[in-house]
Amino acid sequence: MRLLLLAALLAATAGCRPYPRDPERTLERVRGGVLLAGVSHDPPHVALPADGPPHGGDVARIEALARSVGARVEWVRGDHEGLLHALHVRRLHLVAGGVAADSPWKSKVGMTRPYPARDARGREVRRVMAVPPGENAWLMQVEAVVHPVPR
């Protein structure tokens, strides 16, 4: 009987934790602070001119994400594999630019649902952004920006 009571008590209190969870508190750390965004050159979604700041559709989405949490963006330029590795070991908060939905990294990092965009020829393509593994509250915040709910 005591075991049954203990199990019921544990089940009842398990729901008291905030959900979704960010084990490493990514959303909490980014909010009001710095969003470390890894970007690789992938025009027109992410263009990395040598003499200026990044620009493109994904850059605009990241800037909107930063505004949504009162953060400023710190751009980290790099190659695709290096950026995803840095994300996996939690040195970045987000990676954009050339991330494929079927990337081998999908088992090591979190990814947004694909969102529509246009390539350089005007064709519709499906894009994703990557986030640190297991950071579900952060992923939901990113999703809210890349998949806004129509009003």
What are 55-64's pLDDT values in tens digits?
A: 999 999 999 9
The candidate with the shortest Cα–Cα distance to 99, out of 84, 86, 117, 113, is 84
Question: DSSP readout, 7-49?
Answer: HHHHHHHHTTS-SS--TT-HHHHHTTSEEEEEE--BTTTBB--
- Strand 115-118 with 124-127, pairing: antiparallel
Q: How far is residue 60's CA from residue 43's CA, in Å, rounded to a whole number?
A: 13
Residues 95-111 have pLDDT tens digits of 999 888 888 999 999 99
State the amino acid at position 93 in one-letter form.
Answer: H
The mean pLDDT of the chain is: 87
Residues 20-61 have pLDDT tens digits of 889 999 999 999 999 999 999 999 999 999 999 999 999 999
* pTM of the predicted model as reported, rounded to 2 decimal places: 0.84
Residues with Cβ within 8 Å of 139's Cβ and at least 6 positions away in sequence, in order, are: 20, 110, 112, 131
The pair of structure tokens assigned to 117 is 């965009």
pLDDT given at position 69: 97
Strand partners, 124: 118
